[in-house]
Amino acid sequence: MSRQFLLVLLAVVAVVSGWWNSYSCDAFRIEEATIDELRAAFKHKQLSSRQLVEFYLEEIQKSNPVLKGVIEVNPDALAQADRADYERKANKPCSNSRLHGIPILVKDNIGTKDKLNTTAGSFALLGSVVPRDAGVVMKLRKAGAIILGKASLSEWSSFRSVNAPSGWSARGGQGKNPYVLSAQPCGSSSGSAISVATNMAAVSLGTETDGSILCPSSFNAVVGIKPTVGLTSRAGVIPISPRQDTVGPICRTVSDAAHVLDAIVGFDYNDAEATRAAEKFIPAGGYTQFLKLDGLKGKRIGIVRNPFFNFSSSPVLAKSFESHFQTLREQGAVLIDNVEIANLSTILDPNSSGESTVLLAEFKIAINAYLQALLHSPVRSLPDLIAFNNKHSDLEKIKEFGQRAFLFAEQTNGIGDAERKALKNMMRLTEEGFVKTVMENKVDALVTPSSFVSSVLAIGGFPGISVPAAYNSDGLPVGICFSGLKGSEPTLIEIGYAFEQATKARKLPTFLPS
Ligand SMILES: *[C@@H]1O[C@H](CO)[C@@H](O)[C@H](O)[C@H]1NC(C)=O
Ligand SMILES: *[C@@H]1O[C@H](CO)[C@@H](O)[C@H](O)[C@H]1NC(C)=O
Ligand SMILES: *[C@@H]1O[C@H](CO)[C@@H](O)[C@H](O)[C@H]1NC(C)=O
């Protein structure tokens, strides 16, 4: 072999191996990877679930001391990853599930029967033992997902007191907005949004009673789906109101959110009535079929300008949203401008609509039932909770933030005349407001900024999706929200996905100090 030939051969080997490396193991980047990309990397043996969990654990160790998006890490996460890797290697049928081997963080009000605590961020529930996994967690485990840990939240999903800051809980501390650290992350599913925004988890679950998925999704530039009430089981979730509570995905992309939604919807024996009633909304073939680039084509979308798109104090936001309307039109949507929701100011004020009256009574009933069903618990009733807070006033910052909602709730006495009247009022407001607006304008969805419309959706049980859209002059994200009638998730996913793909508005967190 001539020396020249040897040199040429070496050069070829070097080029080929360089090419090979760039297409194999070393090339895969976990940060910002979607479920589809993670699954492809599993398939091509570029990634294991163990590597994935190790990556997120490192990110949590690095970022969480400041951001406080995670309350607890699952000590069994690596073991679950190893099992997933084994199942994939052995080609077990279960490894075909789309969440198989994918680490998910769940809000700390969602029960898990494992080493993790379920506390809604409060020391009062530390050491309580849940009877079983929450319905949505059962479905996640069946889908092969890895329960990575518990996300922080506004304590008691913001229901203890309106004076407690968004994203704060006694156990979790103050969650931070990863775009502007001095700004609030919004809640109550703050930790779920903070954590996926900063790649501390692949995907997450939050819950919403009135704004708790849509608001943190908007503030942290991630995608949140607030499902129709009953589409996802609330069994095993620390409740506020069975009439309004719903569990939904908070993820970095619409596609990821659709995958997670697919895994968690459906009938649950332990939340039978609501999940059976909503089963008819689940499309055959699931939600990912609605991830269509031309999903905006022919969609009729009503712009609720008054009062939501009043950005007179923020020209940057005004400009961003006008440009988004233009994009929606260019993508084939028909925009119906200036649609109005009747009695909107009444609906947006929970004291006028009746929402507060009913929530207080419903919370008392629901939280007492939740506490009594626990296998073991330091507190067994709402009075126990109030007493615990008074006793551990410093730990729970009772002097600072109070527990007014707990105290008001304790004074209620079931669903009586006042509550029935308030319920009737909310039903009327919904029929004459949101429903009438959608029907008369024949729209597929309404568009509003951030989570401003949340109370309208809350009192009607309607779904919404928040997609990253804009940033104000301080660099704080503001989402765009598409909402519709019950069961309109397929349409909202079509619109949200096409909007996301046309705008690609999500930017990585900036960690600005203020
Ligand atoms: C759950 O809380 C107990 C304290 O009651 C603590 O010892 C344990 O480490 C917690 N579990 C996890 C996974 O952090
Ligand atoms: C818009 O908001 C400003 C304050 O930011 C207020 O003065 C004005 O009346 C609002 N306009 C409408 C149409 O609501
Ligand atoms: C809505 O507003 C109209 C007119 O302002 C009023 O007559 C009606 O009673 C209101 N409906 C409800 C449910 O508050």
* CA gap 328, 331 in Å, rounded: 5
Residue 514 in any domain: the answer is no
Q: What residue numbers bound the domain in which 478 lies?
A: 32-303+322-503
- Ligand 3 site residues (CB inside 6 A) read 342-343, 346, 425, 428-429
**Residue 21 confidence (pLDDT):** 46
Residue 117 in any domain: the answer is yes
Query: What secondary structure letter does DSSP report for 431?
Result: I
Q: What is the CATH number of the domain that holds 411?
A: 3.90.1300.10
Q: Which residues pair with 149 in a beta bridge?
A: 73, 105
Residue 22 in any domain: the answer is no
Query: 72: helix, coil or strand?
Result: strand
Number of compact structural domains in the chain = 1
Give the pLDDT confidence of 20-69 residue by residue, as tens digits.
444 554 579 999 999 999 999 999 999 999 999 999 999 999 999 999 99
CA 310–ligand 2 middle distance (angstroms): 6
Residue 510 in any domain: the answer is no
127 lines ligand 1 (CB under 6 A): yes
Residue 308 in any domain: the answer is no
**Residue 514 confidence (pLDDT):** 87
How far, in Å, are 9, 145, 276, 330 from residue 72 at the CA level? 54, 17, 33, 45
**Residue whose C-alpha is closest to residue 493's, from 265, 244, 326, 152:** 265
CA 312–ligand 2 middle distance (angstroms): 7
Other beta carbons within 10 Å of 7:
10
Q: Are 353 and 235 in contact (CB under 8 A)?
A: no
CA 343–ligand 3 middle distance (angstroms): 6
Three state DSSP letters for 155-171 = HHHHCCCCCCCCCEECC
**Residue 18 confidence (pLDDT):** 45
Along the chain (514 residues), what's the average pLDDT of each consecutive run of 10 residues?
A: 54 50 66 98 97 98 98 98 98 96 98 98 98 98 98 98 96 98 97 98 98 98 99 98 98 98 98 98 98 98 96 95 98 98 98 98 98 98 98 98 98 98 98 98 98 98 99 97 98 99 98 94
Tokens of 471: 């940033």
Residue 356 in any domain: the answer is yes
383 lines ligand 1 (CB under 6 A): no
- Tell me the pLDDT of the chain averaged across its residues: 95
Probe ligand 1: pick from 64, 72, 118, max atoms within 8 Å of CB? 72
Q: Which residues pair with 301 in a beta bridge?
A: 335, 445
Give the pLDDT confidence of 375-395 residue by residue, as tens digits.
999 999 999 999 999 999 999
Residue 235 in any domain: the answer is yes
Q: Residue 162 contacts by C-beta under 8 Å, 6 or more apart in sequence?
A: 404, 405
Residue 509 in any domain: the answer is no
Tokens of 296: 């905006």
Q: Residue 472 contacts by C-beta under 8 Å, 6 or more apart in sequence?
A: 314, 316, 317, 478
**Residue 22 confidence (pLDDT):** 46
Could you list the active site residues?
A: 107, 188, 212
